A and B are shown apart, each in its own frame.
Chain A
Amino acid sequence: MTAVKRIVSTQGDNPRPETGRVSRRPASDVMQLERLGSLHACRLSFIRTLMRKVMAERWAIQCRVFDLDEKGYGTCIYRIATPTQLYSLVIFSQYLDPSLRSDRVIANAWDCAFALCMGDVDDSYLDVLRENVPRQEAGRCDPRVLVLSRANRSLRNFDMVVKALASGQQPDPDQLAKVGYLYRTTAVYGNGKFGIADYPRIRDSEDFGLPFSAQMFAVFLLRDFSIRQVEHIARCQAPDTATRLSGPLRRYLGIGNSTGLGMAPFLINHPALINQWLLMREAGIARCLSQTATPEQIEKFCNLLAQARQHTAETTTDDARQTELNNQLEHELKLAEEWVKSAPDPVWQTLCEHAQSKWSLETQELIHSLLMELYPEEIDALEQTMAATDEFDLVPEMSTDELIERLRRDYDWALAYDFSQPEQTHLFWYRSAEKEEPRLGERNVDPGEDREMPLDIARQTSGLYTALLEWEAEQAKSSPVVEFLLANPQYKGITRRTQGISELAYGEIRANLLAQGTLPIHLLRCKLAFFGATKFDPRSDRWVRITLFQGAPCIEDIGSAFADDWWMPLKPAL
């Protein structure tokens, strides 16, 4: 038996990773909204990173309490031992009135609610959790709780799987290819929400120091619970005939997630973090492009293209736009497979240049993700510097001349919009009184534009630029920014932001989010891709369902050999 490998998370706010002889792509390419909305998961996605860590460190995960009735309602507690800490995941499964079933954040009841906690959970604390966790936003937790979440059963799958198992059959893989999960989470809270632990409490821990790793781990365990639960209900229904889910189908089941506009402000309000994610991804791509392709690597890449093509073919959505994109992706992946076999050196660079000139953004970005699979030794270390702290400081001594120059250099895209044109301010973002859900309104039609959320970065930048020019004209000279802000405090926020982001490689999404025709779903997909989502299934331009952990190892696989090749799984042949 090999020694347990320890992976220590480290924090590196703004490292400048070496990229080899190929430069990173410029922000003017990378930060286009539509490109960000075409990203796919990759080796640096958080669930990939998490699984590498769990498998390498052989986390010991035990289902300590499984107290469910014949309908699957009750309490389940997992005990998790990492090399340094003990944790518990407590799940409460309960009856949900069908009339209350909703994936929206505004829902007030769910099929199950769960919490990832520090340490063991005794009976008295379990009572506290039972009182609060199922109430989610309406309850109060304490800092022993790291993650608070809830999920609803997939109506399309849950009963079908129970029925099949109860009759001694395996569920239809075709159906699981359409919907690859039994539960769909609708919010996964961390970082101090509703009284739970602040992120800095775990930021320096070796287990969950990287972004969203605690949240992703809670979701990973829900996946195991979902399988145990359907098997349990099937056994209760038909003890003589019931069977267990087969190994390939257990791994093929993931966990769904439904995400709406609530995710969009996060991307705007955490530019340093977004920069870090994209900086690592782009550095990884550049490192791959610097490599000389061997015949074996080209063959492996063709296999990956074929797998991705099949995975795409097995992805279904009711959304016409995404269906068209998937069809195009499938077609272009076939073209890429043919093209790469006779590509001139340097193969990877010429492939990406060809893709950029001929193929869709989805295809371009999937090729980048697949290239990273070839060079884990170049990529995986980057996962340890995916964190960053969004704390920009004002640079009060910067001259107004320099700030104007930086705006012209880094925000030329924002200054190009003409905000006197109604179509450029057609939309506005607001926060609804209903659970404070972010929503998008149409100006002069919907109420609330007087309470607009400040996500209008392009418009604010344009206003700052004009004000700076007027200030310099009045003063007849350049002056320190602090003098400008004493007279114009309303520009302090956008001044600090533009000063800070102009020091970063990426960070500002280059789009006017107020413009008519803006597709907010691009923002959601960008973040979800970094989570590791697959099978994007838009329900509108503001709401998407995805799948996490499909194909990932199960907890019974921990301790076995791990090839880390589970991403984009294919439908099992039974």
Chain B
Amino acid sequence: MHVSLNELTSLSRRALEGVGFPPGEFEDAADMIVWLEQFGLGGTKLLAKTLPRLTTEQWPAVQKLYDDGGGCVVLRIENGSLLQGGSLAADMACTRALADGLGVVRLSGCRDRGFILGYLARCARRGYHMTAMWCVGEPRRAIQNVATATGHPTLPTIRRYRADGGGEQMADIHTLTLIATRDFALMPTQGAAADSFELLEEITPNELAARSRLAWDQGVDVDADLWSKLQALAAVKLVESTPESRARGAGETQQ
């Protein structure tokens, strides 16, 4: 199914509204999905994987486990998807960065953490430098994802490292760590310590910009089955038509 980005955005928003996401959240969640798709990072494939659970789960409460009153906060989302309010963790990091110079938020018990990529650029355009880190895979054979978005350019640099430390370390594959600052000097850099990790992939802002241009020009491909499911979810918010609603609801017969 070949669709435009606007179609994907519109249908994703309405489908997530149909799932029960509240106003504000269904737009943000859909925009994160579309962002990943626009930049060639598999937003709809990730959505297809998580959609069955999204449609059966209650909205999970985001709980604050720790707050030092300064720049460090630990949140827990009880195995919920990042789409379900996880963007507020990034907003929390930004808020603490503004107040204390550096904001560090760890969001534990969180699925689908890759979607956070779709929110980093929004934080960056507000003037924050953001880093997001999360591990995927098996605890002993994990891949560390590190995405860094700075105010200029707002598109992130995405790096993936082998993070298993030779299979001896247990990686935390359920936590997202977010670091925000408005001071460029405080940004984590790929320093000497990182040299000991094997860099698997790097995607630069220039590469992302090229992918985005292609998506705007040509549209994107979405799995037909997922598209049908999204349409069905969106249809939950539609009201069956009756002769009365056709006439009165749209004012056809009034004078």
Q: Chain A residues near B6: list those with CB within 8 A.
A: 191-193, 198-199
Q: Chain A residues near B250: list those with CB within 8 A.
A: 104, 260-261, 432, 437, 439-440, 542-543
Decide yes or no whether B62 CB sits under 8 A from chain A.
Answer: yes
Decide yes or no whether A172 CB sits under 8 A from chain B.
Answer: no
Q: Which of B2, B59, B125, B254 contacts A489 (CB 8 A)?
A: B59
Decide yes or no whether B199 CB sits under 8 A from chain A.
Answer: no
Known: A393-B122, A432-B245, A432-B249. A143 touches B4 (CB 8 A): yes
**Least CB separation from A318: chain B residue:** B255
Determine whether the beta carbon of A432 is less than 8 Å from that of B241.
yes
Interface string of A108-138 (1 = CB under 8 A from B): 0000000000000000000000000000000
Determine whether the beta carbon of B246 is less than 8 Å from that of A434.
yes
Interface string of B83-103 (1 = CB under 8 A from A): 001001001101100110000
Interface segment out of the listed A441-449, A527-535, A562-570: A441-449
Decide yes or no whether A319 CB sits under 8 A from chain B.
Answer: yes
Distance to closest chain A CB from B182 (angstroms): 11
Determine whether the beta carbon of B251 is less than 8 Å from that of A493.
no
Decide yes or no whether B210 CB sits under 8 A from chain A.
Answer: no
Determine whether the beta carbon of A394 is less than 8 Å from that of B237.
no
Decide yes or no whether B151 CB sits under 8 A from chain A.
Answer: no
Known: A482-B91, A485-B88. A198 touches B4 (CB 8 A): yes
Distance to closest chain A CB from B30 (angstroms): 12
Known: A396-B91, A490-B22. A540 touches B254 (CB 8 A): yes
Decide yes or no whether A541 CB sits under 8 A from chain B.
Answer: yes
Decide yes or no whether A200 CB sits under 8 A from chain B.
Answer: yes
Report the interface size class on chain A: 35 or more
Report the interface size class on chain B: 35 or more
Decide yes or no whether A494 CB sits under 8 A from chain B.
Answer: yes
Q: Which of B2, B28, B253 contacts A195 (CB 8 A)?
A: B2
Decide yes or no whether A412 CB sits under 8 A from chain B.
Answer: no
Determine whether the beta carbon of B245 is less than 8 Å from that of A439.
yes
Interface string of A515-540 (1 = CB under 8 A from B): 00000100000000000000000011
Distance to closest chain A CB from B254 (angstroms): 4
Distance to closest chain B CB from A159 (angstroms): 24
Q: Chain A residues near B255: list those with CB within 8 A.
A: 318-320, 539-540
Q: Chain B residues near A494: list those with CB within 8 A.
A: 23-24
Interface string of A492-510 (1 = CB under 8 A from B): 1111100000000000000
Determine whether the beta carbon of B24 is less than 8 Å from that of A492.
yes
Decide yes or no whether B50 CB sits under 8 A from chain A.
Answer: no
Interface string of B209-252 (1 = CB under 8 A from A): 00000001111000000000000000111111110111011111
Which of B64, B218, B250 has the largest count of A CB atoms less than 10 A from its CB?
B250
Determine whether the beta carbon of A197 is less than 8 Å from that of B4.
yes
Q: Chain A residues near B239: list those with CB within 8 A.
A: 430-433, 439, 441, 447-448, 451
**Least CB separation from B3: chain A residue:** A195
Determine whether the beta carbon of A489 is less than 8 Å from that of B22.
yes
Which of B244, B248, B249, B252 has the largest count of A CB atoms less than 10 A from its CB?
B249
Q: Which of A351-404 contact B (CB under 8 A)?
A: 393-397
Q: Chain B residues near A489: list those with CB within 8 A.
A: 22, 24-25, 59, 62, 85, 88
Decide yes or no whether A480 CB sits under 8 A from chain B.
Answer: yes
Q: Which of B186-207 contact A (CB under 8 A)?
A: none
Decide yes or no whether B152 CB sits under 8 A from chain A.
Answer: no
B-side residues, CB < 8 A to A, are 2-7, 22-25, 27-28, 59, 62, 64, 75, 85, 88, 91-92, 94-95, 98-99, 122, 125-126, 216-219, 235-242, 244-246, 248-255
Question: What are 25 sample pairs from A and B whose C-beta atoms fall under 8 A apart?
Answer: A140-B2, A143-B218, A192-B5, A195-B2, A200-B216, A201-B216, A261-B250, A320-B255, A397-B99, A430-B249, A432-B238, A437-B250, A440-B249, A441-B249, A447-B239, A451-B236, A451-B237, A460-B23, A486-B64, A491-B24, A492-B22, A494-B23, A495-B24, A540-B251, A542-B251
